[in-house]
Structure 1
Amino acid sequence: MIDCRFADGAGDDSADASTSPEVLFTGFPGFLGSALLRRVLARGDGPVACLIQPQYRELAEKRAREIVAAVGERDDDDVPADAPTVHLYEGDVTEPDLGLGSALDDPDLLAGVEEVYHLAAVYDLSVDADLAEAVNVRGTERVLDACERLGVDRLHYVSTCYVSGRYDGVFTADHLREGQSFNNHYESSKYRAEVAVRERMADGLPATVYRPAITVGDSETGETDKLDGPYNLLRLLLAQPERLAVAFSVPGGAETELNVVPRDYVVEAVAELSARPETAGETYQLCDPDPLTVPAFVAALSDAVGRRTVTVPIPKRLAKAAARLLSAASVDVEPATIDYFDHPTRYRCPNAREALAGTGVSVPPFESYVDRLVAFAREHPSLGDDPMT
């Protein structure tokens, strides 16, 4: 059942108290949010309410119907009566009460929510400071306020490994406030958002924090919804002749680790960990415990693309200037990605590995699925890198 509602609670008359939401999602119909919603419904949690922005309503309705049908193992025209229920509420994490007003206090609407999954954020290395502050920081604070108002049993908050900023050394789930500098407003805003979550946890809010590393497409299908981050390098290689391609390297990059994980690992890990009561109060870094160095990553991607690649060492300042020139020439290479060619932080995840041991959920080697990422990107060249905000 799909129930589409507005902030005042008005919506599909088929909804009733028996299907009142017990779980609230932000970040739907985003890439991670859509996949995680399906896993949460498949394990029997719900009914679920998804906070959606009005401009994404059509997409949200489409994806919600597909997910409900898939979980119910029927097509869209024959959804069984006992299929999971998804409620779509128009609102915005940046607004007071998430733009939901009195719906948060109505027992027939959202007052029965017991768990919140907060994924909504601007995932963009070049985001400007004001937008990052509004969505990533104040939006998280609004969600925290809503959690306290609802008296939820659990918040599941999706952060990022890159709250580390440019911490020089090994960064684990035990690290956060280390006096680090940051590459960009995305990193600094996610850092401040996690600090806010940790402060509420210290005050008694039951929550779990999940920190994915750089998340790329699905390891089985290659599917992604935008070509950003490491895909900048892929676009650069694809724009050059097969017989010889050129990539950048910067001083200090030879030993730099590029920590990449596929979407399905992140989703399966969050789904597994969020189902356990003993993980409340914990922080988990969902990273590759054995990542490739930047040169090894370039080599693996070059092999998958079928390019002989020569890496040219140049100063970082010139590499960023070259990226800007390439972007102006219609080869999209985001200059902000150059900062990760000499990123000093190394990520490790001992508690996540221990918690997931024996579950079958683990990070596949990048070389085992890079061909699928490349194939999907080649089949969908019109995909951009614009974030869903």
Structure 2
Amino acid sequence: MTDSDPRVLLTGFPGFLGSALLGRLLARGDEPVACLVQPQYRPLAERRAAELIEAVDGIDASSEPIRLYEGDITEPELGLDTGAFDALESVRECYHLAAVYDLGIQQDLAEAVNVRGTEHVLDAAETLDVDRFQYVSTCYVSGRYDGVFTEAHLEEGQSFNNHYEETKYRAEVLVQERMAEGLPATVYRPSIVVGDSETGETGKYDGPYYLLRLLAAQPAACSVGLSLPASSRTELNVVPRDFVVNAIAHLSAHDDAVGEVYQLCDPTPLTVPPFVDALADAMDHRVVSPLVPKSIARRVLAGIESMGLPAEPATIDYFDHPTSYACPNTRRALAGTELECPPFGSYVERLVEFALEHPEIGDEAMV
């Protein structure tokens, strides 16, 4: 292996998290990085790669610090031809972020990307005999676990809100099985990822953004939200993108993270009513959220969606989600650093400002 051969393989570029994490990897000198990119996203990947290279001091663009490989994780050997796969034999570390992040995703697509795709990436990592496998899961592998879910939990007999949660759970089970067999892996479980805490920037308006945009579409003097009977004791655990990628960049650089699971969540999240209040205050809206049965709330959101307004009926399941998340392993690992999840109230205004200034961004998943 020479210095010009790729040392890192990244899936999930040019996605929202993958793009930010790639910038951190370049900044710490991990180039060249091989990025697996679906052909339809090649133009976007080229633009983002150029922007990242320009933004990092000391990077020589002529050395091709970012190498784009057209492929597909839903296919064996990542959809690469033999020559392209062989070109990755120098890779020593793999970051697997590619997944379908969509609450309303159909089962067959979620299965193909999140489960079989992860299995194919694991197979590729073992064929390449990597020294480290970094896997981005989600706190919501918990499904509707009733209680406090920590890094020590996974297979708890839980039910799931949707195919996204269930397939991400099954994917992490695959990763942990390989870990038990000796794969030097680390698992990161973000909770609900929102925009950057400093700039508000995001790449997709999903999750809490449906609520934000629904309120923004109504009069400031009186906007109507929704609340379920259990909402007052239901936590909405959100984390900003910069905390997630900074934590992954930090933890992935430490050998003692091998074999560990880290939940990247807010240790003191808001419950639904104060979360809605924080959004309303940042928007200078007066919001009324009547209590309604869940079945009616779901029909209301479906009706709003059919009118072309921002809504996703699947989000209502998170207004009575029975799970709380704790991150003792993460807090121990980050103790003594400056890395900690900021409280939602400290950056909500920036999220709102960005969303209002960028109405052109949609809610489409990158698949």
Compute the TM-score of the two structures, normalised by the length of structure 2.
0.98
1:26 corresponds to 2:11: yes
Query: What SS does the corresponding residue of 1:313 show, helix, strand or coil?
Result: coil
Report the counterpart of residue 89 of structure 1 in structure 2: 69
1:306 corresponds to 2:287: no
The offset of 1:181, in angstroms, is: 0.1
The percentage of counterpart residues that share the same residue type is 65
The offset of 1:366, in angstroms, is: 0.5
Report the counterpart of residue 12 of structure 1 in structure 2: none
Which contiguous aligned blocks of 4+ residues in structure 1 show a shift greater than 4 angstroms?
A: none
Report the counterpart of residue 194 of structure 1 in structure 2: 172
Instruction: Find 1:61's aligned residue among 35, 43, 46.
Output: 46
The answer to whether the 8 Å contact 2:13/2:19 transfers is yes
Instruction: Find 1:364's aligned residue among 338, 342, 355.
Output: 342
The offset of 1:104, in angstroms, is: 6.3
The offset of 1:131, in angstroms, is: 0.3
1:98 corresponds to 2:78: yes
Report the counterpart of residue 285 of structure 1 in structure 2: 263
CA shift digits 1:11-56 (9 cap, x unpaired): xxxxx95411110000000000000001011111131100000000
The answer to whether the 8 Å contact 1:104/1:150 transfers is no
The answer to whether the 8 Å contact 2:33/2:67 transfers is yes
- Once the two structures are overlaid, the 10-residue window that deviates more, 333-342 or 37-46, is 37-46
The offset of 1:72, in angstroms, is: 3.1
Instruction: Find 1:317's aligned residue among 268, 272, 295.
Output: 295
- Once the two structures are overlaid, the 10-residue window that deviates more, 60-69 or 134-143, is 60-69
> How many residues are matched?
367
1:160 corresponds to 2:138: yes
The offset of 1:73, in angstroms, is: 5.6
Report the counterpart of residue 235 of structure 1 in structure 2: 213
The answer to whether the 8 Å contact 2:53/2:61 transfers is no
CA shift digits 1:193-221 (9 cap, x unpaired): 00000001111111000000000000000
The answer to whether the 8 Å contact 1:155/1:207 transfers is yes
The answer to whether the 8 Å contact 2:73/2:113 transfers is yes
The answer to whether the 8 Å contact 1:122/1:388 transfers is yes
Query: What SS does the corresponding residue of 2:44 show, helix, strand or coil?
Result: helix
Query: What SS does the corresponding residue of 1:211 show, helix, strand or coil?
Result: strand
Report the counterpart of residue 158 of structure 2 in structure 1: 180
Q: Which amino acid aligns with 2:69?
A: Y
CA shift digits 1:98-128 (9 cap, x unpaired): 012324663xx21011000000000000000
Q: Distance in 2 between matches of 1:218 and 1:25?
A: 21
Query: What SS does the corresponding residue of 2:300 show, helix, strand or coil?
Result: helix
Q: Distance in 1 between matches of 2:363 and 2:264?
A: 23
- Once the two structures are overlaid, the 10-residue window that deviates more, 277-286 or 354-363, is 354-363
1:146 corresponds to 2:124: yes
Q: Which amino acid aligns with 1:52?
A: V
Report the counterpart of residue 36 of structure 1 in structure 2: 21
Report the counterpart of residue 72 of structure 1 in structure 2: 57
Report the counterpart of residue 128 of structure 1 in structure 2: 106
CA shift digits 1:178-197 (9 cap, x unpaired): 00000000000000000000
1:251 corresponds to 2:236: no
Q: Which amino acid aligns with 1:244?
A: C
Gaps of 5+ in 2: none
Q: Which amino acid aligns with 1:272?
A: H
Query: What SS does the corresponding residue of 1:312 show, helix, strand or coil?
Result: coil
